[in-house]
Structures are given as structure tokens and as C-alpha cells.
Amino acid sequence: MTDIAHSTVPPVPPECKTTGVVTVPQPLITARGVNVFYGDKRALKDVSIDIANNQVLAMIGPSGCGKSTFLRCFNRMNDTIDGARVTGLLQLEGQDIYEKRQDVVQLRARIGMVFQKPNPFPKSIYDNVAYGPRIHGLAADRIELDEIVQTSLKRAGLWEEVKDRLAAPGTSLSGGQQQRLCIARTIAVNPEVILMDEPCSALDPIATARIEDLIDELRASYAIIIVTHSMQQAARVSQRTAYFHLGDLIEVGETDRIFTNPRHKLTEDYITGRFG
Amino acid sequence: MSKTVAETRAQVEKSLRRRRLAELRFQAYGIAAVSIGVLFVILLFGSIIAKGAPAFRQAYVTLDVFIDPAVLYPDGIVDTELLATADYVALVRGSLKQRFAEVEGRAATRQLVELVSGSAVQNLQALVQADPKRIGTNQTLTFLADDKVDQYLKGNITRSTPEADRSLSDQQLDWVDALQAAKALELRFNKGFFTHGDSREPEQAGVWGAVVGSLYTLGVTLLLSFPVAVATAIYLEEFARRNRWTDLIEVNINNLAAVPSIVYGLLGLAMFLNVFGMPRSAPLVGGLVLALLTLPTIIIASRAALKGVPPSIREAAIGMGASPIQTVLHHVLPLAMPGMLTGTIIGMARALGETAPLLMIGMVAFIVDVPSTLSSPATVLPVQVFLWADSPERAFVERTSGAILVLLAFLVLMNATAVILRNRFERRW
């Protein structure tokens, strides 16, 4: 990973009303005054936050608060939605994500994504994991590709369960296994950041626990941003928590602090279960 | 206001009976409708098969022919060039007269020769020219019988009809009976029906010309319409932004699917023949016209198939960093392919049965030769059916139904191929 000059980290705009500290030392990603519009509707309002490496950031908030929208800004998935427009500054290691010259394909190779519903390709388990390395040309030959597939499946904790049936369709696995397959597929291209959009909302508690353990292990190598509806999950897996409300980033802070001592009234109401 | 539980239950029971009756009635309507449909299908197929089956058998006559050098070289000069213009009818006549020695006079002899198809002369000529050493030998040869003889053998001409009202005289029927008794005349499998082109003589007419014409035409249609339609559907569905132009295009495609086919024929006539000067009656032009006709059908079906691919697959691919083209080619297209193939089958089946637009571009012409290239004159199966249905000879009635059977077999074969292809695509994962 290239070392970045700290002087290039842009300052937080003064109109930022977020409670808590939005900046971190040596941020991997910086967002400054990010707005997202769907047509005329402003779905995200002036969000500024830093993302640190080797850390899990949980984004929580009631439905429609803009947390998923914000997540999809990082790898420009909002590009695929007609009428969606992003303003403000988003930098990955000092490089503008929304710059005209930015290659979206390269960006998405660096910022992987795991979706709400497990969505393996309707191909074999092997081909699912090998897809990313193949399109990005990461393996010189079959042996190297085999190795990448094996390592990725091992790191996703799926290898022992599927090593005898790599040719079986990915869709034949259980929901929790499918989601781990999707994680294996994402880490196969060796990204720097993993975005997770409610990765456990379609899974049972046991599968959820396995994914949460996995997230904790993966933190050692990646920056992870997870959107979740479950406050318990946020408390379990994350080090930092960001609370969104109606498109505003209300409060950011250490997870322990947010859940024990929220400073903003809205945050307190949400985590004590008064709405959401 | 308040009712007892027993009262409520009685009311529910009453409504329950009514609902059950309604359900039974609905079922009865359904069964009746399906039964009527099945009945008509059986009637249709039964009648076509009953009428068409005789077309697959044909009367053949076996004769001993003396290849008489005195007939072929009337002046005594031996020159193979004379064989091209020699009087082969005389050979057939001689052979028949040998069998029926009692026949005297020109009129009777002509009646006798009428029993054998005109194609016997061409067969003889080909045989002799292929090997002139046969001259002077006796050959036992099998020729097509005339279509009227064929019809008599199949029971469509009977002696009970007054002689003046039938096309064979009593005398001719006696000869036919005699030939049949001598096992020199019999019904055999009609190979010519599957190998010959069209002919004015029913006994020589076959569907092969039309089958090849249909194959060429549909080949052109498939090669043009499938890639263009799939590309159009992919562009409109996956790449084009929704705006007034794409809406306009969409409305137009939907309207084009409903345009009567003869309009496409007129368009083909005006554009391909009159402006571009393409050949008349050619499978190439027929294929172009039918491609225009099937394009909207395939586009609409392909777009529906693309819409049916879950968006999560696209998101997964895009999230992995696949480019839009890779997303479509690697993930969306394989999933949509079965649906696209189904749409193509429907479109091609419609194209196979189209007659009207092909009439406009001259594919209705009487064409004897089996087409050899995409630009040689040809006709197609449904047009052949149309042409034969229009012919006055009794023998064409069964050939019409026979051609319909071939058309149906063609259709079943095509659909079966497509279904197999589709299943293979579906089983790949």
C-alpha cells in the first residue's frame, strides 16, 4: 500500500454538523460534504467521514436513512441507477473516486462489495471465486488460479465444506455458505476495502455468527464498512459506528462509546429502541 | 349485532357450498374448452394424415424395353449425337405393344402410351445416353405410371363412374387391370415426392424444391434476425438510457410486431427488388423479408428474457469490477439465452408458415428446379401447398396434404432442435 501524504487530507467543511469525531489519523478513504440526489430527491446530505484501515465501520440507522446509498458511493454502484447524482469529495488514498479519469473497473477491483442477499453467479463454486482474478488477469496460469481460489475459500472459512465439490453450482450451497462464497469471491481479487450491505439480513443466527467471526478475522487485512439493521451486530463486529438519520450523518464515534454514551438525542432514541 | 358461534358457522357452511359449486362450474368450463380444442386438433390432423398419406405411395409400371437401334438411328448412321433428339416414345410404345399385341390403330396406341408417365421418355434417354452400349439390348425398366393410373389404383377413379365422366376409358382400365394382374404395375414408396421439384405432371411433382427453398430462406432469416434482434434487445435493455427516443423505439417495435405480414412483402418488393434490384423469387430476398417480419417478435421476447434476469446477478458482476460488456456477456446473456431461444423458435415457426409476403416478391412462381444458390428462383413449403391446392388434377389433392405433412414435420423437427439447444443451455450450470 502506498504511503499517503497527510497534508493532502482535505479539511472537514465547517458546515458539518455531525456529533463526534469524523476524522481518523491516516485515513484510507475520506468523504467530504458528500450529497446524493435521486432525481430531485436529496438522499444524502453533506456527509463527511474518514475510513481507517484495518477497522470495521458500522453504519446504522432506520430504513431510508441513506446508509446503503452512502455505501454505494464508495465503489460507484450508484452510477448504475438512472438519475442518481453524487456531489462532494470522495478520496481513496488521496485519489478522487468520482474524478472523470477514474477507471470504475479498477476502483471496484480495489473496493469489493458483498450484498444483502447472497448472489453467487449461477456457475460452479470454483468459477465464482475465479471470476474476479480471471477478468482482472491476476493469475498467469491454472496453477496460480487454483491457488488463489483455494486461499480465498480458506480465508472465507468455506474451504473445508466445499473442497470436494468445487465443480458444484454455487447456488446449491446453503444461504450462509453462499454468503461466505460471495465474500471469498470478493477477497479473491485482493481488494483494500470491503463494503458489506446488510450481509446477514437473509441468514439464520448460526450463519450470521460465522459471518461475524469472519468479518473480525478479515479486519486484519482490509478496511471494512458494514451497513446493518441489527444494533447488536454493529456492537459485536465494529470498532467505529456511524448513525444516519434521514440522509444526515448524525453521530460518529467509537462503537463502545456510541452504544454506552450517545451524545446526540436522535442516536440515543434509536439505540434505546424508541424508533427504527 | 353479536351472533353465536353456531350461527356464524351455519353461514360459513352456506357460503362454502356456493363457493364449491362455483369452483366445480369453473372446472367444467375448463375441461369443456380443452376437450373441444383437442377434438379439433385430432380432426385436423386426422383429415390431413388421411388425405396426405396416399401421397407417399405411387404407382410404378415395370416394362421390358428393347432399345431398338432402328428407332434410335433411323437412317442407319451410328452417331451418339443423334441420341439427344431420338424418338424415345417409340421405344415405350414398342414395349407396350409387345405386351398388348392386340392393340391396333393410332388412337388405341396413344391411349396405351398415356398409361405411362411422360417422365419415362426422359428416363430412357438418360439411360441410353449414359451408356450407348445398351443399344440393341433388352432392359427391364421401372417407370412412373401416369397420375390417372395412380389415382385408379388408389381407388379415386372407379369403374362405377360413367366412362364419359372419368379420365380413363374402359379400355385403359382393362389394360391397367391386366398389368396389375401380371404384377407389372404396383404401388410403391414414392421416393420422387421427396427428391423432385415441382412439376405440372402430378406423378412427377415433389416437395424437395420447396423444402430446400424453405431451408435457404429460413437460414437467411435466422442468420440475420437472431443476432440483430439479440443485439438490439441487449442494447435497449442493458445500455440505452430511458428517454423519449428509446420510448419511441420501443413503441415502434411493439407496433411492428402487429403489422400484417403482407405489408412486409410489399416493403420487400419496393425496397429489395425495385430499389436494390435483387433477384425475384430468390430465397435471399425471402429470407430478408421474413427477417424483418420476425425481428420484432425476437426482440420483444429477448427483452423479456433480459428483464427476467435477477438484478442481483448484474450487481454481483459490476461489484466485482466487470465492465458492462463483460457483465452482459458473462452473466446476463447466458441466463437470458433460453428465453431468447424460445422467442426465436416462435419467430422462426411463424416465418416458416408465412405465405403472403413471399407472394409479393415472386416466390409463388412455378419453379421446377431444386434451388442451388441463395439467389436462384425458389419457392417455400407453404407456397407449394398453396400452389398445389390451386391445381385441378385429382392427384394434387393428396400431394397438397402430403406437403402439409412435410411442413408439419419440418416444424416439429425445428422446434425439437431448439428445445434440445435450450435445455443444453439451461443445464450448463
pLDDT at B78 over 60: yes
pLDDT at A120 over 90: yes
pLDDT at B332 over 50: yes
- Of B347, B331, B250, the C-alpha closest to A170 is B331
In this complex, do A105 and B315 lie within 8 Å of one another by their Cβ atoms?
no
Q: Which has more confidence, B224 or A206?
A: B224
pTM for the model stands at 0.82
Q: What is the pLDDT of residue B1?
A: 59
> Per-residue confidence at B429, pLDDT binned at 50, 70, 90?
very low
Q: What is the pLDDT of residue A1?
A: 40
Lowest mean pLDDT among A25-29, B77-81, B177-181: B77-81
In this complex, do B331 and A121 lie within 8 Å of one another by their Cβ atoms?
yes
Q: What percent of chain A is predicted at pLDDT more than 90?
A: 64
Q: What is the pLDDT of residue A276?
A: 55
Chain B residue numbers with beta carbons less than 8 Å from the beta carbon of A115 are 312, 315-316, 319
Q: What is the pLDDT of residues A206-262, one digit of tens each?
A: 889 989 999 999 999 999 999 998 889 999 999 999 999 999 999 999 999 999 999
B208-426: which CATH number, 1.10.540.10, 1.10.3720.10, 3.90.1410.10, 3.40.50.1100? 1.10.3720.10
Q: What is the pLDDT of residue B290?
A: 95
Q: What is the mean pLDDT of residues B170-197?
A: 90
Map out the domains of chain B as residue ranges.
56-189, 208-426
Q: What is the mean pLDDT of residues A118-134?
A: 93
* B interface test, pick of A105, A152, A173 with most B CB neighbours within 10 Å: A105
pLDDT at B267 over 90: yes
Question: Measured between CA atoms, how close is A189 to chain B, in angstroms?
Answer: 8
pLDDT at B104 over 70: yes
pLDDT at B188 over 80: yes
Domains of chain A, first to last: 6-271 (3.40.50.300)
> Per-residue confidence at A2, pLDDT binned at 50, 70, 90?
very low
In this complex, do A112 and B320 lie within 8 Å of one another by their Cβ atoms?
yes
pLDDT at B223 over 50: yes
Q: What is the pLDDT of residue B428?
A: 52
**Average pLDDT score over chain B:** 90
State the greatest distance between any 2 C-alpha atoms of chain A, in Å, as a whole number: 57
Q: What is the pLDDT of residues A257-276, one digit of tens each?
A: 999 999 999 999 998 887 65
Query: Residue written as cell 454538523?
Result: A17
Chain A residue numbers with beta carbons less than 8 Å from the beta carbon of B237 are none
Chain A residue numbers with beta carbons less than 8 Å from the beta carbon of B321 are 104-109, 132, 135-136, 189
Q: What is the pLDDT of residue A179?
A: 93
Q: How many whole angstroms separate alpha carbon B144 and alpha carbon B124?
A: 12
In this complex, do A112 and B429 lie within 8 Å of one another by their Cβ atoms?
no
Q: What percent of chain B is predicted at pLDDT more than 90?
A: 55
Q: What is the mean pLDDT of residues B178-192?
A: 90
Q: How many whole angstroms separate alpha carbon B182 and alpha carbon B61?
A: 11
B323 touching A (Cβ < 8 Å): yes
> Per-residue confidence at B100, pLDDT binned at 50, 70, 90?
confident
Q: Among partner residues A82, A104, A121, which is closest to B316 by beta-carbon distance? A: A121
**Average pLDDT score over chain A:** 89
- Grid cell locating A171: 447456488
Query: HSE on the CB side for B118, CA within 13 Å?
Result: 7
Q: What is the pLDDT of residues B354-391, one digit of tens each?
A: 999 999 998 888 888 899 999 999 999 999 999 999 98
Q: What is the 3-state secondary structure (H, E, C) of chain B?
A: CCCCHHHHHHHHHHHHHHHHHHHHHHHHHHHHHHHHHHHHHHHHHHHHHHHHHHHHEEEEEEEEEECCHHHHCCCCCCCHHHHHCCCHHHHHHHHHHHHCCCCCCHHHHHHHHCCECCHHHHHHHHHHHHCHHHCCCEEEEEEEECHHHHHHHCCCCCCCCCHHHCCCCHHHHHHHHHHHHCCCEEEEECHHHHHCCCCCCHHHCCCHHHHHHHHHHHHHHHHHHHHHHHHHHHHHHHHCCCCHHHHHHHHHHHHHCCCCHHHHHHHHHHHHHHHCCCCCCCHHHHHHHHHHHHHHHHHHHHHHHHHCCCHHHHHHHHHCCCCHHHHHHHHHHHHHHHHHHHHHHHHHHHHHHCCHHHHHCCCCCCCCCCCCCCCCCCCCHHHHHHHHHCCCCCHHHHHHHHHHHHHHHHHHHHHHHHHHHHHHHHCCC
Q: What is the mean pLDDT of residues B269-286?
A: 93
Q: Which has more confidence, B167 or B231?
A: B231
